Amino acid sequence: MILNINKDRNLECRLETSKSFYKTFKQWATDKGLNVLPIELMPWDFFVVSKNNKDILCTSLFVADHMAILWHTMGDKKYNRDIFDLSFMFKSIEKYCKKLDIAFIMGTAGKKGYKKLLERTGWHDVGVKKEDWYLKIIEQDE
């Protein structure tokens, strides 16, 4: 299911099942020397961003009642990371969460540039020691 499109940058964000996208996700992780959870422990859905019809980024989302947790944001190793593409993925996820009446999203941020992106787009460091947890409150229309 297509969630969001940016025609100017040839970007598309879609929702895939873990069953249909896990193989690609695992390959991207392997290419970067990372381990991932087995498919049985992964969230059911993946948010996948493609640029010029080529998949470049993904993340999965655990949803629990009024909150969601980003899980394993990953990109194709061959992809030259663009902060706009990542921001586009997060905005697409926020739109999705808003439709589900999710109050907030949490996720971790390990890299300095990644943290800056989150902070510029309304995410807040929750202040947990020795961890980089960030929180985004989803503004609901009344």
Tally of domains within the chain: 1
Partnered with residue 46 across adjacent β-strands are 16, 60
Q: Mean pLDDT in the chain?
A: 88
| Residue linked to tokens 């940058």 | 9
What pLDDT, in 10s, does the model give residues 70-106?
Answer: 888 899 999 887 889 989 999 999 999 999 999 999 8
Rounded to two decimals, the pTM is 0.85
Q: Is 79 exposed, middle or buried, given 0-12, 13-18 or 19+ CB atoms closer than 10 A?
A: middle
Q: Which H or E run contains 43?
A: none
Range of the domain at 72: 2-137
CA pair distance 63, 95, nearest whole angstrom? 14
What per-residue confidence (pLDDT) applies to 112?
Answer: 67
Inside any domain, residue 142? no
CA pair distance 91, 89, nearest whole angstrom? 6
Inside any domain, residue 118? yes
CATH number where 75 lies: 3.40.630.30
Longest dimension (CA), the chain: 45
